[in-house]
Amino acid sequence: MSSRAPHSLDRRSFLQHGAALAALPWLGRAARAGARPRFADDPFALGVASGDPAADGFVLWTRLAPRPLEPGGGLGREVIEVGYEIAEDEGWKKVVRKGRAFATPQLGHSVHVELAGLEPDRWYWYRFRAGDAESAIGRARTFPAREVLPARLRFAVTSCQNYEQGLFTAYEQMLADDPDLVFHLGDYIYEYAAGKNGKVRTHLGGEIATLDDYRARHAQYRSDPLLQRMHASCPWLVTWDDHEVDNNYADRVSEEKGISPETLLARRANAYQAYYEMMPLRARSLPRGPHLRLHRSSSFGRLAELLVLDTRQYRSDQPNGDGKKPLNDAALAASNTLLGAEQRDWLQSELLASPAVWNVLAQQVMMALVGLPKDGGEPLYSMDQWPGYAAERASLLRFLHERRIPNPVVLTGDIHSAWANELRIDDRDPSSPRVATEFVATSLSSGGNGTAKPKYLEELYARHPGVKHHDQERGYLRCTLTPQRFATDFMVIDEVEKPGGKTAVRASFAVEAGTAELRRV
């Protein structure tokens, strides 16, 4: 695999690339089914998945790849017919939908089936067939109708699953939890060259840059049997962070010096296409060159409005050269943005229209203003997180407060540590209004085995009373929503660097509807 980014693409190339991708959903309709193919190896080696659930349907996904780590997945340029069927019961006594889709080479022989017209608030089972091969069986669910107030929603939140640094053992307990939904908040893959982060397993090839590189890296991750089983068990709502493209990139700006915006955008186009090919996303997210709309919403009846954000694609460059820096004029500049104007306007419109009890913002980087001094100096804050975009952060929290948005809760990933935070318009000012709560999921495997009590923990709690919990273990969040409260268990695993790790509850917190105050339960 290549260790360098591809040559730059000009604007015309990007437009032509985007137009070609936009036409792909129509190719299958015009295709003529040929002879029934026979596969020497299992074409469903990457499993099945569902995502983006609605009250009347969801997306079903698979990708045909009998040799998934090879260019093209072991397939040629043929268009392959793929059948699917959906049943109301695990025994397949009542099949409610059958159909066919077409796996095209232009999209890596991936299949995205968007279903509508199903019954709300119920589980379904699904499977695919191609030629003489049949996929594993997956399970998906529809959400309750918009006007219904459900009694409960259970979901898991995870992020940061570095293949080299740890096993995905925590998915065993997540599977046993039997959630309605999984949020994955980014760093689904890591772009690094083989061995850079190695502790347990090894990436294939050099740092990824081409479309074949990104496809193979996704395939290597998706080959993990625990990840496959979790995808098959319930629908996922996914978003990306930086490592799906390149560490700490910001829109068209690379972290690495000497990389032109055109070169990064060409690499981003490859990464975004591979991401779409490997995720259960709707056609509205079909990439157009280096652009892919990922921010979207889903309603779990009137209990929860689930708003998925993208804080990477539209952001301005990190102030102060990135890293940990003081909250100076550069960090406080009004021009700094994580969301971009269009996404910010969309988010505010969605929040104003939401009838939900809970308004959940699923996003990537920590929103709490948390800084600790170094060598006795002034506190330092992460410029890659919301502190580097402090004016936009304050504006968003002020909007939540002044427009009286009911019960906003922020879900976060990215930083390989767990946090429970109360959010104020200015977290440094105790008199500033408490507006929202934030639950930060630690990494599933990134960083290897962690620690429950960092050395700075007492100083952290003393300086930041809004921080109610912090640890640096591996794990995920297990959340339960009712009309009365939002409860979160911080699930931790004691061992990710070798098999046999055990997952347990490290701490539990809840916020009652109508407040933004966290309490330990």
Residues 214-271: pLDDT tens digits?
999 999 999 999 999 999 999 999 999 999 999 999 999 999 999 999 999 999 999 9
End-to-end CA distance of the chain: 49
Whether the pLDDT of residue 26 is over 70: the answer is: no
Within a domain: 204: yes
Percent of residues, the chain, with pLDDT higher than 70: 93
Mean pLDDT across the chain: 93
Strand, coil or helix: what is 386? helix
Burial of 10 (0-12, 13-18, 19+ CB in 10 A): exposed
Angle at which helix 261-278 crosses helix 11-30, to 10 degrees, equals 20
Q: What are phi and psi of 98, to 5 degrees?
A: -130, 150
Tell whether 71 and 178 lie within a shared domain: no
- Shared domain for 120 and 164, answered yes or no, is no
Averaged pLDDT, 140-159: 98
Query: In terms of domains, do 296 and 419 share one?
Result: yes
Is 273 a domain residue? no
346 and 473, same structural domain? yes
- Do both 123 and 195 map to the same domain? no
Q: In the block, which residue shows the tokens 């948005």?
A: 405
Query: Do 69 and 216 belong to one domain?
Result: no
Burial tier of 136 (Cβ tally within 10 Å: 0-12, 13-18, 19+): middle
Please indicate, yes or no, if residue 263 is contained in any of the structural domains: no
Residue 200 in any domain: the answer is: yes
The number of C-alpha atoms within 13 Å of 17 and in the hemisphere containing its C-beta is 21
Asked if residue 137 has pLDDT above 90, the reply is yes
How far is CA 270 from its chain centroid?
Answer: 18
Task: Assess whether 484 and 449 both reside in one domain.
Answer: yes
**d(Cα 38, Cα 320) in Å, to the nearest integer?**
57
Mean pLDDT of 95-117: 97
> Where residue 328 sits, what CATH number does that domain have?
3.60.21.70
- Last residue of some domain: 112, 141, 170? 141
Kindly report the backbone phi and psi dihedral angles of residue 271, in degrees, each rounded to the nearest multiple of 5, phi listed first. Answer: -65, -45
How does residue 430 score in pLDDT terms, banded at 50, 70 and 90?
A: confident
Predicted pLDDT of residue 376: 79
How many CB atoms are located within 10 Å of the residue 59 CB? 23
Residue 35 is predicted with a pLDDT of 57
Going along 281-342, which residue ranges are E strands? Answer: 296-300, 304-308, 324-325
Number of H helices, E strands in the chain: 9, 25
pLDDT in tens, 394-409: 999 999 999 999 999 9
CA dihedral 182, 184, 185, 187 (to 10 degrees): 170
Rounded Cα distance between 201 and 440, Å, is: 26
**42 C-beta neighbours (distance < 10 Å), count:** 16
Q: Which tens digit of pLDDT belongs to each residue from 348-397? A: 999 999 999 999 999 999 999 999 998 878 999 999 999 999 999 999 99
Averaged over 146-162, what is the pLDDT?
Answer: 98
Q: For residue 85, give the CATH number of its domain.
A: 2.60.40.380
Among the candidates 87, 114, 141, a domain finishes at: 141
d(CA 31, CA 49): 25
How do strand 503-512 and strand 485-493 relate by DSSP bridges? antiparallel
Token look-up 């990139």 returns 249
HSE (CB half, 13 Å, CA atoms) of 318? 25
Locus of tokens 């594993």? 136
Residue 261: inside a domain, yes or no? no
For residue 258, being part of any structural domain is answered with no
| Measured distance CA(209)–CA(256) in Å, rounded | 14
Is 158 in contact with 413 (CB distance < 8 Å)?
yes
Residues 406 and 437 in one domain: yes
- Angle at which helix 225-233 crosses helix 170-177, to 10 degrees, equals 20
Decide: 42 and 245 in contact? Cβ < 8 Å.
no
Report the alpha-carbon angle 496-499-505, nearest 5. Answer: 55
Let me know whether 158 and 132 are in one domain: no
- Summarised one tens digit per residue, pLDDT across range 32-75 is 444 578 898 999 999 999 999 999 999 999 999 999 999 999 99
Residue 298 lies in a domain: yes
Q: Which domain holds residue 316?
A: 153-244+279-520
* Cβ-Cβ contacts under 8 Å for 146 (sequence gap 6 or more): 55, 299, 301, 302, 355
Alpha helices by DSSP H, listed for 100-194, are 170-177
- The mean per-residue pLDDT over the stretch 415-440 comes to 95
Q: 233 and 113: one domain?
A: no
Strand (E) or helix (H) holding 380: strand 379-382
Mean pLDDT of 122-136: 97
> Domain total for the chain?
2
- Tell me, yes or no, whether 332 and 355 share the same domain: yes
- With tokens 């083989």, the residue in question is 194
Q: What is the 3-state secondary structure (H, E, C) of 209-228?
A: CCHHHHHHHHHHHHCCHHHH
Pair (89, 235) in one structural domain: no
Inform me whether the pLDDT recorded for 204 exceeds 50. Answer: yes
Q: How far apart are CA 304 and CA 361, in angstroms?
A: 10
Q: Which two tokens stand for residue 186?
A: 């980014």
pLDDT of residue 37: 86
Answer whether residue 14 is part of any domain. Answer: no
Distance CA(366)–CA(250), nearest Å, equals: 16
Q: Which of 141, 175, 203 is the last residue of a domain?
A: 141
> In this predicted model, what pLDDT tens digit does every residue of 7-17 receive, in sequence order?
334 444 444 44
